[in-house]
């Protein structure tokens, strides 16, 4: 009956072909341990959505686990581009439903609110819209404003099967807090059919009740709670640990070719049994403690 689960159990609840919303933004709060386990379990054909494409999605795409990506563009910030995503788009192996940040956020918001569609000013006149009309015409419509008669672009609500969200603090019911900016995470969670929470810190519900204004993920949406420290490595978790610049540089370099990336996967994903072996491989306690966030700075 309880929701506490191992990462392997939580990942096993996701059938191939599922639509997964991921909480990462570029190189922060990415579902890295989750993505590694998805790859190890051989799950494929996923639809992945997020407002800004991030390292979690790039890893999954690079491993061939993703069929469609619904996103607003993305990068590894100054560390580079999403080479796996880009290569898959260029070679036609990934269907890229590419929007802008707000367009995806609005699609999640419409899903969260149970709206039939949401009008937006974004995308008009752009080639993003022209391309969407080819790739995903079923998600793009027009409506007439009943008050002015103006025509507006309308987007279909986005309702992922599951949102996977990397958080700082959660209880065993899945009530969770996010420190720092939340980008699209709250709307992802509230749009999705269910939620997997991956948390750095597991606290008693008593703690959640002391500061309930912070609870952006309500337990009743959550199916699995995975307590797994450093699960976003090598990306950062605000107030907990910094990104691992050295490892991200290694990743960015490895994604330049299919062959190099295969070697990266062999080493860091297939070469370890689980997250704990991964943490040892990347340098264990010594490396990880060097990344721990300063309590004032948050990084």
Partner 1 sequence: MYAEDYTPFELMAVAGARELKDGEIVAVGIGLPVVASFLAKRTHAPRLTILFELGIVDPEPIHTGVGLADPRVWYRAKVMSSFVDMLGMVLHRGLVDVGFLGGLETDAYGNLNTTLLGDPRGTFTHSVGSGGANDIASSAKRTVIIIRHQARKLKEAVSFVTSPGYLQGGSAREAAGLRGGPVRVITDKAIFGFDPHSKRLRLESIHPRITLEDVLANMGFQPLVPDQVPVTEPPTVEQIRLIREEIDPERIYAG
Interface contacts to a second copy, rule CB under 8 A: 114-119, 121, 138, 141-148, 150, 152, 154, 156, 178-180, 182, 213-214
Residue 218 contact partner, candidates a second copy, partner 1, none, CB within 5 to 8 A by sort of partner: partner 1
DSSP 8-state class, residue 189: H
In the list 15, 17, 133, 150, the residue contacting partner 1 (rule: CB under 8 A) is 150
161 binds partner 1, rule: CB under 8 A: no
Beta-strand pair 46-50/66-71: parallel
Burial classification of residue 58, based on how many CB atoms lie within 10 Å of its CB (0-12 exposed, 13-18 middle, 19 or more buried):
buried
Match 């519900």 to its residue by tokens. 205
- In the complex, what is the shortest distance from the CB of residue 177 to a second copy, in angstroms, rounded to a whole number? 9
DSSP 8-state class, residue 188: H
List Cα–Cα distances, 88 to 63, 79, 83, 249, in angstroms: 11, 19, 8, 20
Residue 128 contact partner, candidates partner 1, a second copy, none, CB within 5 to 8 A by sort of partner: partner 1
Footprint of partner 1 on residues 168-227 (CB under 8 A)?
173, 175, 180-187, 190, 205, 208-209, 212-213, 215, 218-220
Residue 122 contact partner, candidates partner 1, a second copy, none, CB within 5 to 8 A by sort of partner: partner 1
Nearest Cα neighbor of 38 from 64, 76, 69, 67 is 64
Within its chain, how far is the Cα of 50 from the centroid? 6
- In the complex, what is the shortest distance from the CB of residue 104 to a second copy, in angstroms, rounded to a whole number? 15
- Please, which residue, 23 or 47, has the CB nearer to partner 1? 23
Q: Are 237 and 31 in contact (CB under 8 A)?
A: no
Residue 73 contact partner, candidates a second copy, partner 1, none, CB within 5 to 8 A by sort of partner: partner 1
């Amino acid at each position: 009956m309880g929701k506490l689960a191992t990462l392997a159990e939580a990942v096993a609840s996701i059938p191939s072909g599922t639509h997964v919303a991921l909480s990462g933004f570029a190189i922060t709060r990415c579902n890295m341990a989750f993505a590694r386990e998805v790859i190890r379990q051989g799950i494929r054909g996923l639809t992945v959505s997020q407002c800004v494409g991030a390292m979690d999605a790039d890893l999954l795409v690079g491993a061939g686990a993703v069929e469609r990506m619904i996103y607003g563009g993305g990068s590894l910030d100054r560390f580079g581009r999403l080479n796996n995503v880009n290569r898959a788009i260029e070679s036609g192996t990934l269907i890229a439903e590419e929007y802008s940040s707000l367009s995806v956020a609005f699609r999640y918001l419409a899903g969260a609110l149970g709206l039939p569609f949401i009008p937006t000013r974004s995308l008009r006149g752009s080639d993003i819209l022209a391309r969407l009309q080819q790739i995903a015409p079923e998600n793009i419509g027009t409506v007439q404003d009943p008050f002015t008669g103006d025509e507006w672009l309308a987007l279909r609500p986005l309702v992922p099967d599951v949102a996977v969200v990397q958080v700082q603090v959660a209880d065993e019911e899945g009530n969770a807090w996010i420190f720092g900016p939340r980008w699209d995470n709250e709307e992802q969670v509230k749009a999705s059919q269910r939620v997997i929470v991956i948390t750095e810190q597991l606290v008693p519900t008593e703690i959640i009740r002391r500061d309930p204004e912070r609870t952006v993920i309500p337990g009743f949406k959550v199916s699995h709670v995975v307590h797994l420290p450093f699960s976003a490595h090598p990306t950062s978790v605000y107030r907990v640990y910094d990104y691992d610049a050295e490892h991200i540089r290694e990743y960015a370099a490895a994604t330049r070719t299919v062959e190099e990336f295969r070697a990266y996967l062999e080493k860091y994903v297939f070469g370890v049994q689980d997250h704990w072996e991964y943490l040892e491989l990347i340098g264990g306690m010594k490396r990880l403690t060097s990344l721990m966030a300063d309590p004032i700075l948050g990084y």
